[in-house]
Structure 1
Amino acid sequence: MNFLLEIVARDFDLTEANKADIHKYAEKLDAAYDRIIRCRVVVEALRHREHKGLFYNVKVVVTIPGTELVIKRKPNEDFHLAVKDSFNAMRRKLEDFVVQRSGKVKHHEEIPIAHISNLFPEEGYGFITSADGREIYFHKNSVLNHDFARLEKGMEVRFSEELGEKGPQASSLTVM
């Protein structure tokens, strides 16, 4: 572990086993992000009126270059689970931070646009010409919102493509 680990207990005394539990989970944070400067863990014992025993509230604050990440989960009556949940949430937050920092953002593909080039209403199918000039088959069942009867040659449509038995076909077609 290449960072400072600070453990604070409020309203109860930590056992050596509790401290070892926290150390074990803190070490795993190093694998998620290797530039952690400091990790502060605050464990607070809460008494509940209708419940005998304590609830443990765990707050994990991780300092990394340029920012601080904070996790505070719901209190749990099981110390081990309270610590585990908080550290797992922090690990996920660090992993998300790394992805965001690296610029690896998920980009959604744009839905392609085409024009109806041939239409055979009696037979229930037609062809569209995509922006790149390919001719793609479609069946009336692939036209969304039961719009097949509205279709006309030259209309602009959006489509999703798949490979059919005889070549490319539109699996869904939406009138624009």
Structure 2
Amino acid sequence: MQRSLQIAFRGMDSSPALEALARERVRRLEGQFPRLTGCRVVIEAPHRGAEAAKTAIAVSVEADVPGRGPVIGKDEQERREAKNDHTAALNNAFEAVERQLGKIASLRNNPPAPHAAEGQSGVVVRLFPAEEYGFVEIDNAPELHFTRNAVVGGKFDELTTGMMVLVTVAATEGPMGPQAASVRLLDRSKAP
């Protein structure tokens, strides 16, 4: 990685065991996905009201990959006090990142064939809902800018970062560079 690993504990004491596990999981990520440029792990005990019997542990893992926004995995679980198991949330967050990185690697290594009527498959990499625009990434191309009006069926509010979409590239560039003429959500019933 180009930047060193960052591990932070919030609302709880640091744990050498959790830190060691996080470092091991990052080493495995680097082995599987050598293009990683950085990784941040936040382990915290979220604030709970007095009515909560058990405190929870929450983990957020953010991995940086060149040419796209951060890949994020999160999990939150109650602490298993009987077994003193604080690792489940950490492992689940890393597994979510691994799945997303696997999809990204698969798209890069086996790009889908473009279909003239539907456009190309892409991934939403950044969204700015308040400003009503975002960016989508398709293989072998710079990120494409799109606006709320380019989303077919008025489904802009259903978009999330990391979502697969069908993109038609516009013939001309817009004020923010290359742009998408249309962005269509994939049929979720056909998704893997």
Number of the residue aligned with 1:11: 11
1:69, distance to aligned residue in structure 2 (A): 1.0
What RMSD over aligned residues (CA atoms) do the two structures have, in Å? 2.3
* TM-score normalised per structure 2: 0.50
Amino acid at match of 1:43: I
Amino acid at match of 2:15: T
SS in 1 for 2:46: strand
Aligned pair count reads 107
> How big is each residue's C-alpha offset from its partner over 1:39-80, in whole Å with a ceiling of 9 and x where there is no partner?
001112124333334211111111111122112223442420
Amino acid at match of 2:48: H
Amino acid at match of 1:51: A
Rounded to whole Å, the distance in 1 between the matches of 2:113 and 2:61 is 28
Q: Is the CA contact 2:77–2:89 (under 8 Å) kept in the aligned structure 1? A: yes
1:35, distance to aligned residue in structure 2 (A): 1.0
> How big is each residue's C-alpha offset from its partner over 1:109-140, in whole Å with a ceiling of 9 and x where there is no partner?
xxxxxxxxxxxxxxxxxxxxxxxxxxxxxxxx
SS in 2 for 1:9: strand
Number of the residue aligned with 1:42: 42
Range with bigger deviation, 47-56 or 80-89? 47-56
% same residue = 26
1:19, distance to aligned residue in structure 2 (A): 0.8
Unpaired segments ≥5 residues, structure 2: 80-84, 115-192
Number of the residue aligned with 1:96: 103
In structure 2, the CA distance between the partners of 1:55 and 1:2, relative to structure 1 (3 Å rule), is: same
In structure 2, the CA distance between the partners of 1:106 and 1:10, relative to structure 1 (3 Å rule), is: farther
In structure 2, the CA distance between the partners of 1:76 and 1:5, relative to structure 1 (3 Å rule), is: farther
Q: Is the CA contact 1:2–1:30 (under 8 Å) kept in the aligned structure 2? A: no
Amino acid at match of 1:102: N
SS in 2 for 1:35: coil
* TM-score normalised per structure 1: 0.54
Unpaired segments ≥5 residues, structure 1: 108-176
Structure in which a larger fraction of residues adopt strand: 1
Greater Rg by CA: 1
Number of the residue aligned with 2:171: none
